[in-house]
Structure 1
Amino acid sequence: MAKEFKLTQESLDKLKDELEYLKTVREKEVAEQIKEARSFGDLSENSEYDEAKNEQGKVFSRMAELENIISHAVIITEDMYSADEISPGCHFVVQDLEFGDEEEYHFVGSQEANPMDGKVSDESPFGKAMLGHRVGEIVEVEAPAGMMQYKVLDISKK
């Protein structure tokens, strides 16, 4: 079974726009670079040609990746989860019970996740542990440094 990619509608639209750009603009630009590089002569020692072919491979690879993600996307909607529990699309604040730090996160789809930017998904151990919990609950998260505990302080659907 193919892997599902959980995305918000906004993220899916961005991926579709990127794919459209690659197909209509970037692919033609790279083809033109290859054509121009061929005109320089001997292809065996033509670094411009090699670079253009490498770029073409990157473009085609990204297009294939985007087509796979788009074809296996599952749109996250707010009505998939209760309004008072941590779920994809929500913002939530937790307190690290060991250090007392408060941290805010945005629960996003797997393709949007960026923990350094406060965006987590259900594919990370932290996101998976938080999913479904409510305000006031203590959540244990297994981390490389050992078991960590967080208290859920706030959940909002912005």
Structure 2
Amino acid sequence: MAKFQYYTQEKLDELRAELQFLKSQGRADMAKQIAEARDKGDLSENAEYDAAKDAQGLLELKISKMNEIVANARVMDETNIDTSKVSILSKVKIRNKKNGMEVVYTIVSEEEADLKAGKISNSSPFGKGLFGKSVGEIAQIQAPAGLVEFEILEISR
């Protein structure tokens, strides 16, 4: 059974464009590389041909995986996000109970996660720990440094 992933419209458009590029330009480039390697002589001892065929297999695997991702993608309507609890696409302001440091994260799908941009995956330990919590609740998250407690200060979209 396929697992649905929720994306912003922008990210889904980006994934579709990349998939289309791989199917058209990526395959065309790969066919050209294989043809060039084939023209160099005996295929039984042609390492360049073998490498091109391996690269073609990897390209087809990537296309297959991206097809599955796009097929199982769902666009999350940001206007319907319930800001009473942390959910996908919620912007969450939290405070570390130990050191008082405050940070803001947006909960996104795995493919959209980018810590530098403040986007964390809903399947990460942080995402799972924050998911479903309300303002004022304490989220206990198992981090590499041990159990860390965060207070939910604000939820927005």
Same fold (TM over 0.5): yes
Amino acid of the structure 2 residue aligned with 1:55:
A
Matches within 5 A, 1:130-141: 130-141=130-141
Amino acid of the structure 2 residue aligned with 1:67:
N
What do residues 5-53 of structure 1 show as CA deviations (whole Å, max 9, x unaligned)?
2222221111111110011111001101100110000123322212211
Greater CA deviation, 27-36 or 135-144? 135-144
Following the alignment from structure 1 to structure 2, what is the Cα–Cα distance between the partners of residues 47 and 118? 44
Aligned to 2:64: 64
Aligned to 2:27: 27
Amino acid of the structure 2 residue aligned with 1:5:
Q
Q: What's the offset of the Cα at 1:80?
A: 4.5
Matches within 5 A, 1:2-151: 2-115=2-115, 117-151=117-151
Q: What's the offset of the Cα at 1:66?
A: 0.6
Greater CA deviation, 77-86 or 6-15? 77-86
Q: Work out the percentage of aligned pairs sharing the same amino acid.
A: 39
Aligned residue for 1:111, secondary structure, equals helix
How many aligned residue pairs are there?
A: 157
8 Å CA contact 1:136–1:151 kept in 2: the answer is: yes
Following the alignment from structure 1 to structure 2, what is the Cα–Cα distance between the partners of residues 102 and 46? 58
Q: TM-score, normalized by length of structure 1?
A: 0.87
Greater CA deviation, 106-115 or 13-22? 106-115
Amino acid of the structure 2 residue aligned with 1:50:
D
Amino acid of the structure 2 residue aligned with 1:54:
D
Amino acid of the structure 2 residue aligned with 1:156:
S
